[in-house]
């Protein structure tokens, strides 16, 4: 189906090095918004956990950080990922230090 010998089609003089496409240009890859959304959600839940001492918010923040970590791209910034994890883990630790009682499940008072 194709010219058999590769020498007919190969042009090493016409090699064009890869350039990362600028956002908005035709070649720009389709960005997946999930990691950014989950990162934002994680930070909001961490703040709730820390300021309003809600333990379940702190736990949800940890899960949001995990989902954001699982969906992040190789090119993403690891610092942001690390800060989101640190914030959610500190929310859990602080909420248990302030009130070491276990969480009361919602179904316990049904």
CB 52 within 8 A of CB 60: no
Q: Is 103 in the site for another protein (CB under 8 A)?
A: yes
In the complex with another protein, which residue's Cβ is closer, 14 or 79?
14
Q: Is 24 in the site for another protein (CB under 8 A)?
A: yes
Using CB under 8 A, which of 40, 86, 93, 99 touches another protein?
99
Residues contacting residue 86 through CB under 8 Å, at least 6 positions apart: none
**Backbone phi, psi, residue 53, to 5°:** 55, 40
CB 42 within 8 A of CB 87: yes
**Backbone phi, psi, residue 47, to 5°:** -60, -40
Stretch touching another protein by CB under 8 A, among 45-53, 59-67, 79-87? 59-67
Q: Is 1 in the site for another protein (CB under 8 A)?
A: yes
Q: Is 94 in the site for another protein (CB under 8 A)?
A: no
Q: Is 14 in the site for another protein (CB under 8 A)?
A: yes
**Backbone phi, psi, residue 52, to 5°:** -100, 5
By CB under 8 A, name the binding residues for another protein.
1-2, 6, 8-18, 24-30, 59, 62-63, 66-67, 70-71, 99-103, 105
């Amino acid at each position: 189906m194709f010219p058999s010998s590769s020498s007919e089609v190969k042009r090493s003089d016409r090699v064009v090095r890869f350039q990362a496409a600028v956002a908005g240009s035709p070649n720009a890859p389709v960005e997946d918004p999930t990691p950014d959304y989950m990162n934002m959600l994680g930070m909001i839940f961490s703040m709730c956990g820390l300021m309003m001492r809600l333990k379940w918010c702190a736990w949800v923040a940890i899960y949001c950080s995990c989902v954001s970590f699982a969906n992040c791209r190789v090119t993403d910034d690891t610092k942001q990922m690390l800060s989101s994890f640190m914030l959610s883990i500190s929310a859990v630790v602080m909420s248990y230090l302030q009130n070491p009682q276990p969480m009361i499940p919602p179904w316990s008072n049904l």
